[in-house]
Structure 1
Amino acid sequence: MKPTAYTFESMKKRAAAWLLEGISPQRLALTLALGFVLGCIPLVGVPTGLCVVLAVVFRLNLPAIQAANYAAMPFQLALIVPFARLGGKLAPATHAALDFSALAQSPMQLMHASSSVAAQLGVMAGQALLAWLLLAIPVVGLLTLTLTQVLRRVPAVAEAKARGLLS
């Protein structure tokens, strides 16, 4: 089986097909915006499940939200450190900086250091999640407005309106 390459043209065709299925441009734009923003959560592995839950609960287009989620993966990885830094400024932790010097010591020091490092990484993940939460809602709003305008210019929308699929 040959893997599918996602090009701009193939994404346009998929969006047009979704619009022809009766999804309004506003609903599709919201679905894509939610998928993209959820895909940027600074916790690796979490966005896919969240997108499935949101799609089922709010009856969103599951392939569309997952496509946007997967498109955001490079951004997710690139934004982990900036989110952690911003979260660290918003909610400073009371612990010392990460110390890896104990990793070269005895097994007992290694066990103590690993629990300390895990706790510090957990705090950093919480700080990064806080920063993401503060930015997520405005970004979803802006992306939804922008994508709605873009999707209204897709020729498939005019065709869907002509068929009576959209109001």
Structure 2
Amino acid sequence: MTRESWRARIRRVVVAQLTQGVTPRRVAFTVALGALLSVFPIFGATTALCALAAWLLRLNQPLMQLVNALLAPVHILLLYPYYRAGEHLFGREPAPLLAVTELAERFASSPKQFVLDYGMIAVGGSVVWLLSALVAVPLMYVILRPVLEGLARGVKAGREKMRSGNLA
């Protein structure tokens, strides 16, 4: 898909929300929370996290999952820095993360030790992710809200223009 088709797809989903009575603030919150959950540093957990959050908070599930899908490459790119920052935060020695054959050998030699070692790396990365969330979500919300309010005004003006054109 081209960049323009992605933009058009996102715009359609957001505009559909705004024309169905969802407030720009709610859409901004959905996107900000979806973006945060989409980079949670446990591989394979983001779809379930987004689904659960959307269900619990009664947010738009398709919009939340669209954000999750769009940020999948970012999620992959952030795993390594989150894990390394977590190791640093907890004073752990860096473990090999990119050597797939070494990871497989370590798992084969001692699955329990592998889970202990890499489980703590995941915990450290999750703590760093949580700390970053305290800044990222409010920042994204503050940036997105005025943009979405402007889009909502444009959608409303377009609908009113269509109505007045149909009545004349």
Question: Is the 2:84–2:94 contact (alpha carbons within 8 Å) kept by the matching residues of 1?
Answer: no
Contact kept in structure 2, 1:25 and 1:148, CA below 8 Å: yes
Query: Normalising to structure 2: TM-score of the pair?
Result: 0.79
Q: Distance in 2 between matches of 1:35 and 1:101?
A: 30
Tell me the TM-score normalized by structure 1.
0.79
Partner of 1:52: 51
Q: Report the CA distance between 1:53 and its aligned residue.
A: 1.4
Describe how 1:1-167 pairs up with structure 2 within 5 A: 6-93=5-92, 97-98=95-96, 100=102, 103=105, 110-112=108-110, 114-154=111-151, 155-158=154-157
Gaps of 5+ in 2: 97-101, 164-168
**Share of identical aligned residues, percent?**
29
Superposed CA deviations along residues 29-70 of structure 1, whole A, max 9, x for unmatched, are 000110111000011111111111111111111111111111
Residues in 2 aligned to 1:135 and 1:96: alpha-carbon distance in whole angstroms: 21
Structure 1's consecutive aligned runs of 4 or more residues displaced over 6 angstroms after TM superposition are 160-163
Aligned residues: 153
Kindly indicate which of the two structures has a greater share of residues assigned to helix. Answer: 2
In structure 1, how many angstroms separate the alpha carbons of the residues matched to 2:104 and 2:10? 49
Question: Which structure 1 residue ranges, 5 or more long, are not aligned?
Answer: 105-109
Higher relative contact order (CA 8 A, sep 6+): 1
| Mean CA deviation greater in 74-83 or 61-70 | 61-70
Q: Note the alpha carbon deviations across 1:130-149, whole angstroms, 9 max, x for none.
A: 11010012111111111111
